[in-house]
Chains A and B, each alone.
Chain A
Amino acid sequence: MAITRTEVAHLARLARIDLGEEELDHFATQLDVIIGAVARVAEVAADDIPPTSHSVPLTNVLRDDVVGPCLSPDEVLAAAPATEDGRFRVPRILDEE
């Protein structure tokens, strides 16, 4: 199963990483090797095996609906690259959600 340059470009877009042309080729080669190696998880016949998402068998960890302390707005915005009127300023957004 070869991972193509196009697929890598698609992944980079999904992951919001701007890769240069050379990087795309370089990563494509490396990812292909890695995916080839990890794909062997499929060798294990596992139709009736339940997946494990947590190694600790905890359930129902819940907190009471009680208000607690917040950060101050200064703390919240201190590390922001850009702010305006107490809000985070971000560049124009293209996609609607």
Chain B
Amino acid sequence: MTDVVGTTALLPYSKAVAEYDPVIGLEVHVELSTASKMFCACPTAFGAAPNTQVCPTCLGLPGSLPVANRSAVDSTIKIGLALNCSIAEWCRFARKNYFYPDMPKNYQISQYDEPLCTDGWLDVEVDTQDGPRTFRVGIERVHLEEDTGKTLHVGGATGRIHGADYSLVDYNRAGIPLVEIVTKPVPGTGALAPEVARAYVTELREICRTLGVSDVRMEEGSLRCDANVSLAPRGASEWGKRTETKNVNSLRSIERAVHYEIERQAGILAAGGRVVQETRHWHEETGVTTPGRSKEEAQDYRYFPDPDLVPLAPSREWVEELRASLPELPTARRKRLTDEWALSPRDMDALVNAGALDSVEATVAAGAPPAEARKWWLGELARHANEAVTEVSALPIRPAEVARVVELVAEGKLNDQLARQVIEGVLAGDGSPDEIVAARDLAVVSDDAALGDAVDDAIAANPDIAEKVRSGKIAAAGALVGAVMKATRGQADATRVRELILARLGVSG
């Protein structure tokens, strides 16, 4: 039975992973944020008008020659070191030969059997019902190559290649340095394969961000991912045929695509069919992969060492210099902060998943206790970020300002409700926390005399609730506290209010 789209049913996930062992692999391309391109001095800034950042070399004009960018080599070595790789003592660039209009020379300068970095690993953690589990992802290679230009397909319905009448090419991106990171196949992830895939790319992205080598924005294409999936029947010694899925443009897509491929391949195998080894395309809207155009013959790239470039031979001194310059890497940093802040692994995961770790660390550095910093960033600020459809780190409030709010609460000058109002004010651009407090005259009222009337009014207005409290249902006092808070526009010191209410009603709480 062959796999014709729509004919073979998916096998539901739990059944799929019960009967088959997934093996995953990931190929990630990271666009480096160097100032100039890989082999020429053209600028690399994103968003320039088409064909305005091009020279004879990146346009591949006859007679042009490449000269390698030292900073790109440094960045690649740093990535390799962060992934625990061995750094080659001697290696070369190779030409990958194939014809495509976005590649001006019709070959890409890359590396073939002599990559700059090899044989590393990265531990990634995923959250499970039984607590966090760590998986070691082997790194096969990290190598350096040049990016291609960008093609727009005109005339088709979807802007994709199929059905297009012609295409338009912009070579601004051609020649920008690209680092390719390929994992070894990762068996043994079982049902967690999609999560592991996602966690790996997330961690890789964090590492690149920490190293400062790339913007790693998937939506801008500075981080691209292809996911490989194969299935083997449980207990089998041989792995199955693998598919490579492209167009996986977000972390979420990685997880969904791996999930889908497992179901799809399991469905084929369960029905007695064979999985075709092919490249597939992920569709975010429909949540499926479809086969790429089948090629009559496998691509023969006819790799050979590029004669226009000379070998790279990073001395061990050079490598050690780079190693010494590495900043604290994400795993080490998370471990340090977990210990310093006495967090559980789950707590740390929550911070990382919310993208709030940097903000919290900065808030703590500005003087706030870790627990308070976490509370605000994961609670109120995360809520604001969701509403604004943005990252917490992109909110218009600085960690120092959050720390100030925390300080004001600690000093008793604000309560939680008032603090929320101050934060809203900062987000709205009304100024600093102190300016907002002054402008709106926000201050906690805890003076008994001031509160006394409000307390009496609340009791008088709610006789049934008051009766409940007198008869021992202390919890009911909350409603009375609420009434006082409302009456005082949130400025009352809630704790003191509760004490006064209980005292008035003659109970101890």
Where the two chains meet, the residues of A that have a C-beta atom closer than 8 Å to any C-beta of B are 10, 14, 16, 53-54, 56, 58-71, 73, 76-77, 84-97
A62 x B70 contact (CB < 8 A):
yes
A67 x B55 contact (CB < 8 A):
no
Contact of A85 among B41, B50, B100, B279 (CB under 8 A): B50
Q: Is B90 an interface residue (CB 8 A)?
A: yes
What B residues does A66 contact at CB under 8 A?
35-36, 41
Q: Mark B294-319, 1 if CB is under 8 A from A, else 0.
A: 01010010100101011111100000
Bound state CA distance, A59 and B155, in angstroms?
Answer: 48
Interface residues of B in 29-70 (CB under 8 A from A): 34-36, 40-43, 49-56, 59, 67-70
Bound state CA distance, A63 and B310, in angstroms?
Answer: 13
Q: Is B84 an interface residue (CB 8 A)?
A: no
Contact of A95 among B49, B100, B310 (CB under 8 A): B100
Beyond A68-B41, A86-B50, whether A91 also contacts B166 by CB under 8 A is yes
B166 x A64 contact (CB < 8 A):
no
A53 x B307 contact (CB < 8 A):
yes
Bound state CA distance, A93 and B167, in angstroms?
Answer: 7
A-B pairs under 8 A by CB, number: 136
Interface residues of B in 199-241 (CB under 8 A from A): none
Interface size class of B (residues with CB under 8 A): 35 or more
Q: Is B508 an interface residue (CB 8 A)?
A: no
Contact of A97 among B59, B68, B100, B309 (CB under 8 A): B100
Give 23 CB contacts A-B under 8 Å. A16-B99, A56-B310, A59-B90, A60-B310, A61-B67, A61-B310, A63-B69, A64-B70, A66-B41, A70-B54, A76-B59, A77-B51, A86-B49, A86-B50, A87-B51, A87-B169, A88-B169, A90-B169, A92-B155, A92-B164, A94-B293, A96-B161, A97-B102
**Minimum C-beta distance from B398 to chain A (A):** 31
Q: Is B284 an interface residue (CB 8 A)?
A: no
A85 x B168 contact (CB < 8 A):
yes
Where the two chains meet, the residues of B that have a C-beta atom closer than 8 Å to any C-beta of A are 34-36, 40-43, 49-56, 59, 67-73, 90, 92, 98-102, 151-153, 155, 161, 164-171, 279, 281, 292-293, 295, 297, 300, 302, 305, 307, 309-314
Contact of A73 among B52, B155, B292, B310 (CB under 8 A): B52
Bound state CA distance, A65 and B35, in angstroms?
Answer: 6
**Minimum C-beta distance from B272 to chain A (A):** 30
Bound state CA distance, A66 and B155, in angstroms?
Answer: 39
Beyond A76-B59, A85-B168, A88-B169, whether A67 also contacts B51 by CB under 8 A is no
B165 x A86 contact (CB < 8 A):
no
Beyond A62-B69, A62-B70, A97-B98, whether A87 also contacts B43 by CB under 8 A is no
Beyond A60-B310, A64-B70, whether A96 also contacts B36 by CB under 8 A is no
A90 x B292 contact (CB < 8 A):
no
B67 x A68 contact (CB < 8 A):
no
Contact of B51 among A63, A65, A69, A86 (CB under 8 A): A86
Contact of A67 among B35, B56, B70, B170 (CB under 8 A): B35
**Minimum C-beta distance from B16 to chain A (A):** 28
B36 x A76 contact (CB < 8 A):
no
B293 x A88 contact (CB < 8 A):
no
What A residues does B313 contact at CB under 8 A?
59-60
**Minimum C-beta distance from A52 to chain B (A):** 10
**Minimum C-beta distance from B307 to chain A (A):** 6
Contact of A87 among B68, B152, B165 (CB under 8 A): B152
B167 x A92 contact (CB < 8 A):
yes
Bound state CA distance, A65 and B73, in angstroms?
Answer: 10
What A residues does B169 contact at CB under 8 A?
87-90
Bound state CA distance, A10 and B300, in angstroms?
Answer: 11
What B residues does A97 contact at CB under 8 A?
98, 100, 102
User: Smallest CB-CB separation from B247: which chain A residue?
Assistant: A96
B34 x A93 contact (CB < 8 A):
no
Bound state CA distance, A96 and B148, in angstroms?
Answer: 13
**Most B Cβ at <10 Å: residue of A60, A64, A77, A90:** A60
**Most B Cβ at <10 Å: residue of A14, A16, A71, A94:** A71
**Minimum C-beta distance from B281 to chain A (A):** 8
What B residues does A63 contact at CB under 8 A?
41, 67-70
Bound state CA distance, A10 and B296, in angstroms?
Answer: 11
Instruction: Add 15 more A-B contacts to A71-B56, A73-B50, A96-B161 (CB < 8 A).
Output: A60-B310, A60-B312, A63-B41, A65-B72, A67-B35, A68-B55, A69-B41, A71-B59, A85-B50, A86-B50, A87-B50, A87-B170, A92-B161, A92-B165, A93-B164
Contact of B42 among A56, A58, A68, A90 (CB under 8 A): A68
User: Smallest CB-CB separation from A64: which chain B residue?
Assistant: B70
Contact of B55 among A64, A71, A89 (CB under 8 A): A71
What B residues does A54 contact at CB under 8 A?
307, 310-311
User: Smallest CB-CB separation from B42: which chain A residue?
Assistant: A70
What A residues does B161 contact at CB under 8 A?
92-94, 96
Bound state CA distance, A91 and B41, in angstroms?
Answer: 30
**Most B Cβ at <10 Å: residue of A66, A68, A70:** A70
